[in-house]
Amino acid sequence: MTDSILTAPSILKRFQLDGRTALVTGGGQGIGRAFAHALGEAGAAVAVVDISLPHAEEVVEELKAKDIDAIAVQADVTQTSGVQAAVDAVLAQWGKLTIGVNNAGIGQWMAAEDMPESDWDRMLDLNLKGVFLCAQAEARVMLESGYGKIINTASMTGTAVVRPQPQAHYNAAKAGVIQLSRSLAGEW
């Protein structure tokens, strides 16, 4: 009898992303940067999208040093026009979008009783509305092509309050991302 574990193709082949194209928001640093490298190393072409073009360009240089096909795109994910421009840049470069990683976000510690409305609005605009706008624009392309994967970065604080960090606005936004992701998965 043949041992299927020993005769099966490498498990790494199942994770290859050759021929795929990825858009990674917040790709100029942190988790987004790690996503960009991981997707690129797996074979995807990567659009590094960030509010800071110099940060995005720096990551693209890192990727190109690994022979990964990559472009830098500056975009404000809280603005529909910026999000659409990022998606359009991917389509112009590669003709398709198959992976969206909606990761752009911020964190801030601030006691709820001292929080100005502007800080609340900024947090929800970037961490929740930005995810929605990106997923919406990505899905339009993916639904038309019949294929795509969308990954939204949330946080454990979307399901549990972590102390001593006073960050009600961050927690609320990340809880919203979790439920938004479930809702969109049900629709698409």
The residues assigned a catalytic role are 170
Continuous segment of H or E residues that includes residue 23: strand 21-25
Tell me if 18 sits within 8 A of 123, measured CB to CB: no
Tell me if 43 sits within 8 A of 120, measured CB to CB: no
At 10 the three-state DSSP class reads: coil
Query: Which residues, at least 6 apart from 182, have a Cβ–Cβ distance to it below 8 Å?
Result: none
Tell me if 45 sits within 8 A of 19, measured CB to CB: no
